[in-house]
Structure 1
Amino acid sequence: MERKEIMELMQNIFTSSEAAEYLNISTQRLNQLVHEKRIDPIKVSKSVMLFLKSDLEKRKIVNVSNKANPQNADCFDINNSFVRDAILYYTIQQYFNNNDKRTCQFIEQIQKVNNFDFHRGLPINIPLLSSLLKVSEKDFYNKYTRVKESFLSLPNDVVLVKKGDDIYSKLLAETKEAAPYLFLKGNVHLLAEKSVCVVGSRNASLDSMEKTERIVKSLIQRNIVVNAGLAKGIDTATHRSALKYGGRTIAVIGTPINQYYPKENRNLQMEIEKKGLVVSQFPPCNVVNRWNFPTRNATMSGISLATIIMEAGETSGALKQADYALKQGRDVLIPQSAINNPLIKWPTKYVLKGAFAFRTLKEVLEILNKNELLLDLFNKSDMEEISDVEMD
């Protein structure tokens, strides 16, 4: 094919950013349309999606019609069966204290015994579900309406994915703690990348914060995504360091995707939405409970190949993360200084359970390099670039 012919052909092929600009929507919204199979890219890989202009023109007609109703232009689209299934799921969950495990067990049982099907429609499902849950049809419908309205409060750049979907983290899906749905905002493809979690105390020392920055910088320079829980202290240092050095970061939050906690990290969360990815397993209809945060630790560990705990007290939530990580077969790394600290006992306990101790940046990379899923990710030159400067 001649160069001129190739140039003419390329005029009809758009990248993700070009397609979003052409449709006058965000790239996050474009990702959701692809996920919902309302736009079919001609090529998809971890780093790129390509679209035909003719396919986008068909969608542009739909977008123009949406502008006639500006009141709903920025709302999350609930008019597809995939989202409606999620709304019904979270309505059922309301009767099980927002517990995914109990909700899924109930649904599995009634699918076998009562031939329950999400797609049979509310006129059939509401009488069935209200009878099985021993509540009135009015009560169930009122809850359904409240859940549906909460979904409408979401911005339209939120992407909803179900366990088993291509976008859903494959690593997380293999764990017992995997949530049935995830709410995403940002670069959803980061869930397919190799990721390491760096967490710790909310009231961390300056020394630990500085060491966190050094480790994060070292990881992102080697194309590793770093994730944390957007909490004060070490988590905040992890996210800020990744952004500071042009890296990629994932924030796994303990609130619904449209809430900001802690409030002082609102701007940081918004920056991660633009430059990284924010993940929540909690629907917009649910209140924030204290157990949300240890629950999300399982998700944070689940998407990670390893967890590094930079500093923690005996009752720190980071230890819950370590528990989940070891249970899920992930590596846990602890600074030698924590093990040597006579005021805390948890580091020694976790080393006996299988956690690794490290003193230097080089040791961190060497431990990760032996990880089954990261095996030999770093070559000899990578190792030689890291000096044996003590972390402790």
Structure 2
Amino acid sequence: MDNNKIYSIWLGSINNVGAKTYKKLIDYFENAENVYRSNNDDLKSIVNNSRIYKNILEAKKIDPYRYVNRLIKEKIDVLLYNDDGYPKLLKDIYDAPPILYVKGTIKKIDDLSLAIVGSRNATAYGLSVSEKISYKISKHGFTVISGMARGIDSFAHKGALKAGGRTIAVLGCGVNIAYPEENKKLMNEIIENGAVISEYPLDYLPLSGNFPARNRIISGLSLGVIVVEAGIKSGSLITAKFALEQGRDVFAVPGNITSAYSKGTNELIKQGAKLVADINDILEEYNFREDIKVRINEQLINTLNNDERKLYEMIKDSPRDIEEIIDYIKYPVAKINYLLSSLLLKGLIIRLPGNKYEKSFD
């Protein structure tokens, strides 16, 4: 780990040094090591808040390596804004966090992602819809982004996990804190199949003021935000607002017009959010984009089991009739029909007249 990263981690770990103060200091001192070695007068001229100023002075007495060693011990990665691994979509927003703490892995394929958000106090309908939508978009190769809150968020993560897909939780506290505590097991499963991430340093408590800022990261990581169920004052509407400001798509699931739990989502639809009645309402927004079509199909292919892949590899080269398939695969007809149905449902092949099949995407 180079000095720039070590001192950047040190600066980011200081209490009350948020994204704005961090950027302001780097703009003036050029790098975090210069902040560490700065004289007090220069520092005071830049930091107007007396509490933050005192916190930085106290932090300058601490060896920067101490915090880094703890991160290494707890297997927590750190991504700086200019690092290659920093999420591409997030880098595009105007107030991207300068530092991300990551427990788990962020991969290139996570650029193809959708956020699912909604109320903590959700109905059984909302929880079921959240899980089902998450499951289906995950099966189509999307990484599911959410906030690991109880309610809609938790079921969004669970749907992706059930589908064998990837999911990322954005926390409003340090990544070493399970919040709510009841989601500790879920948090561990997310880490195994994606990541929990935060702009806040270790041990940073889940204060109420953290969550609106956290929501800009949820939308910033995503191509679009799906609001499943939300009251008129739900924090998920803040996420939808950030999505609009960031140029991301906003989807909303309609709900009972007499239910307070759906007033927010119904209002979003009135304001122009895309109504989601089934998974196709989401997918059709991306099918016209060639870059996304390529990524969706690549990820779908990666989900195939050995038998599905063997059949797909045969069909993708040229159209095949059922007799050719039976002769080549040498599986029982019932199994071949099952595999063909699976590939058809995933949208990887299409059926032609004359009982022929061909690859659906070029």
Per the normalisation by structure 2, the TM-score is: 0.71
Does residue 172 of structure 1 match 2:90?
Answer: yes
Does residue 82 of structure 1 match 2:82?
Answer: no
Contact 1:191 1:303 in 2 (8 A): no
Does residue 263 of structure 1 match 2:181?
Answer: yes
CA distance in 2, matches of 1:255, 1:321: 17
The equivalent residue for 1:193 is: 111
CA distance in 2, matches of 1:207, 1:138: 50
One-letter code aligned to 2:24: Q
Within a 5 Å distance, the mapping from 1:46-125 to structure 2 comes to 80-91=3-14, 94=15, 97-108=16-27, 110-111=28-29, 117-120=31-34, 122=36, 124-125=37-38
One-letter code aligned to 1:233: G
Shift of residue 247, structure 1, vs aligned partner: 1.2
The correspondence for 1:160, drawn from 59, 62, 78, is: 78
The equivalent residue for 2:264 is: 346
Shift of residue 350, structure 1, vs aligned partner: 2.4
Shift of residue 203, structure 1, vs aligned partner: 1.4
Does residue 203 of structure 1 match 2:116?
Answer: no
One-letter code aligned to 1:82: K
The correspondence for 1:224, drawn from 142, 145, 170, is: 142
The equivalent residue for 2:130 is: 212
Shift of residue 347, structure 1, vs aligned partner: 3.3
What's the secondary structure of 2:60's corresponding residue?
helix
Contact 2:169 2:197 in 1 (8 A): yes
The equivalent residue for 1:361 is: 279
Structure 1 portions without partners, runs of 5+: 1-35, 37-78, 386-392
Contact 1:298 1:325 in 2 (8 A): yes
CA distance in 2, matches of 1:239, 1:324: 21
CA distance in 2, matches of 1:299, 1:239: 16
Contact 1:167 1:192 in 2 (8 A): no
What's the secondary structure of 2:284's corresponding residue?
helix
Give the direction of change, closer, same or farther, for the CA distance of 1:192–1:145 in structure 2 (3 Å limit): farther
Contact 2:227 2:265 in 1 (8 A): no
Contact 1:365 1:378 in 2 (8 A): no
Give the direction of change, closer, same or farther, for the CA distance of 1:105–1:367 in structure 2 (3 Å limit): same
Cα deviation 1:123-161 (Å, max 9, x = unaligned): x42445444348799874423346955555433411111
One-letter code aligned to 1:118: A
Between 212-221 and 373-382, the greater mean CA deviation after superposition: 373-382
Shift of residue 192, structure 1, vs aligned partner: 4.2
What's the secondary structure of 2:97's corresponding residue?
coil
Q: How many residues are treated as equivalent by the alignment? A: 297
The equivalent residue for 1:305 is: 223
Give the direction of change, closer, same or farther, for the CA distance of 1:368–1:313 in structure 2 (3 Å limit): farther
What's the secondary structure of 2:5's corresponding residue?
helix
CA distance in 2, matches of 1:147, 1:284: 16
The equivalent residue for 2:325 is: none
CA distance in 2, matches of 1:273, 1:378: 23
Does residue 142 of structure 1 match 2:69?
Answer: no
Within a 5 Å distance, the mapping from 1:19-58 to structure 2 comes to 36=1
The equivalent residue for 2:360 is: none
Identity across the alignment (%): 30
Contact 1:365 1:383 in 2 (8 A): no
CA distance in 2, matches of 1:147, 1:271: 34
Cα deviation 1:216-257 (Å, max 9, x = unaligned): 121111111111100001111111121122111111111111
Shift of residue 85, structure 1, vs aligned partner: 2.5
Within a 5 Å distance, the mapping from 1:231-380 to structure 2 comes to 231-284=149-202, 286-337=204-255, 340-341=257-258, 343=260, 345-370=263-288, 374=292
One-letter code aligned to 2:92: E
Between 355-364 and 79-88, the greater mean CA deviation after superposition: 79-88
One-letter code aligned to 2:183: N
Cα deviation 1:56-94 (Å, max 9, x = unaligned): xxxxxxxxxxxxxxxxxxxxxxx8441223313544xx4
Structure 2 portions without partners, runs of 5+: 298-342, 349-362
Give the direction of change, closer, same or farther, for the CA distance of 1:268–1:249 in structure 2 (3 Å limit): same
